[in-house]
Amino acid sequence: MRSGTYAHPVSFRADPQAQAARLAAAGVETVLLAYAYHGGRWLLSTSDPGAVADLDAGRWFCPTAPDAGRLAPPVVADLAGPATAALSAAGIRTVAWLVGLHRSTLASTRPDLALRNAFDHPYRHALCPARPEVVEHAADLVRQVAAAPGVSGLDLEAFGYLGWAHQGAHEKLGVALRPADRWLLSLCLCTACATAFAAAGVDPTALAERVRATVRTQLAAPRPAAPDLAEDAVAALGRPLHDTVLAVRAAVVRRLVDAAVAAAGGTPVSLRVTADEYATDGKIGGDLAALGTLTTGLTVSNLHGDLPALAADLAAARPCAGELTAAWNGAVTASPQRDRFAAAYDAALGAGADVFALYAYDLMPADRLDWLRRVTPVREEVPAT
């Protein structure tokens, strides 16, 4: 099992060769490097301790073609190219990490392409995968990055439906929502999704009414969640409607992924997935077997220190994945999560994962590199020919 780490190009801005050499010395064989990302503010801890990085949403590479007429995120900085070159020179494989539809700038300036909930409220943080323009945008992003020098693979995150949570703003509410309520608030009912639902025999207006009624009931008189999210979701929609909604959304996502993989032109593609069919946090949930047939590999991640959840996703993804990547949060310092690195590594190894990657080089304590060095098998020297 190869070792890896996620990283943002901002960590390589001052001295990419030195950072690449440091990672190579720790036994890192794969870096999943952010070529397209959403916004954030990071306090760097390993690559440039104490530096505050304000990350504008966009591309961290120069496109291979002009953007005239394209729906495209702006170029923030051309840092990914030099970082990839340095990593390649150090013998490290670069996988381009793309956060696809989590696009605050585009969703804000083009609300017609944003997710739109049952209350007709557009979500400013996410594009809707049912929109043809969005599918074209995602495919174009993949096409450009796949052609970038030194990129040996792609890791696709947020290539599907996002939802109520994970917006990036200060999200506040006064009444506790159940997981099912959050999922219902994540259902997109824009005109494209409404058309897809109608084609499957669902009345979009009636669906929106049921969603609104359930959420309003929870806000008026909060109820505890059932042990299983599905129980509350089925109670809200009824079994036939519930199952059709999941099936329609899954079909929309498969079309998007299929277009993205085709645009990669043979460059290996791994997709961030989970066995949770209600997921709306950047992972694609549901039928992993179907998704596995479209891609070269699958990536499962758990950034909350939940070993059972990681193990469940590994077990579900392994039979479906050509190459399986397991990602774990290397930035967690609080007990008991900080003592679970070895257990997470062992779970990935036992499940037959091909890559174990820590998230993220920019944010985790420096001693995580020492930990990687200890668990990574010594590379065999390749004899000269």
In the numeric block, the tokens 């030194």 are attached to 150
Q: What's the confidence (pLDDT) of residue 40?
A: 83
**Distance, CA of 150 to chain centre:** 22
Amino acid at 159: F
pLDDT band at 385 (very low <50, low <70, confident <90, very high): very low
pLDDT at 334 over 70: no
DSSP string, 166-216: --SS----SSPPPHHHHHHHT---SHHHHHHHHHTT--HHHHHHHHHHHHH
249 within 8 A of 212, measured Cβ to Cβ: no
Amino acid at 52: V
Strands 114-116 and 122-127: antiparallel
DSSP state of 271: E
In the numeric block, the tokens 């150090």 are attached to 90
- In angstroms, what CA-CA distances link 9 with 59, 61, 197, 240? 10, 9, 40, 46
186 within 8 A of 164, measured Cβ to Cβ: yes
pLDDT tens string 195-225: 999 999 999 999 999 999 999 999 999 999 9
3 within 8 A of 29, measured Cβ to Cβ: yes
Q: How far apart are CA 188 and CA 195, in angstroms?
A: 11
Q: How far apart are CA 329 and CA 7, in angstroms?
A: 12
pTM of the entire structure?
0.93
In the numeric block, the tokens 């929106």 are attached to 208
308-317 long-range contacts, CB within 8 A, separation 24+: 310/344, 310/347, 310/348, 311/347, 311/351, 312/275, 313/273, 313/274, 313/275, 314/347, 314/348, 314/351, 314/353, 315/351, 316/275, 316/288, 317/273, 317/275, 317/288, 317/292
pLDDT tens string 15-29: 999 999 999 999 999
Closest CA to 44 of 71, 8, 93: 8
How many CA atoms are closer than 13 Å to the CA of 145, on its beta-carbon side?
38
pLDDT tens string 26-43: 999 999 999 999 888 889
Q: What's the confidence (pLDDT) of residue 73?
A: 76
Q: What is the mean pLDDT of the chain?
A: 91
Contacts with 86 (C-beta within 8 Å, 6 or more apart), sequence order: 12, 16, 17, 19, 20
Q: What's the confidence (pLDDT) of residue 379?
A: 45
Taking the CA atoms of residue 370, residue 371, residue 375 and residue 376 in that order, the dihedral angle to the nearest 10 degrees is -50
**In sequence order, which ranges of 14-79 are alpha helices (DSSP H)?**
16-25
Cis peptide before 360 (omega within 30 of 0): yes
Vertex 295, ends 290 and 300: CA angle to 5°?
Answer: 80
pLDDT at 338 over 70: no
What percent of the chain clears pLDDT 90, i.e. is strictly above it? 76
226 within 8 A of 278, measured Cβ to Cβ: no
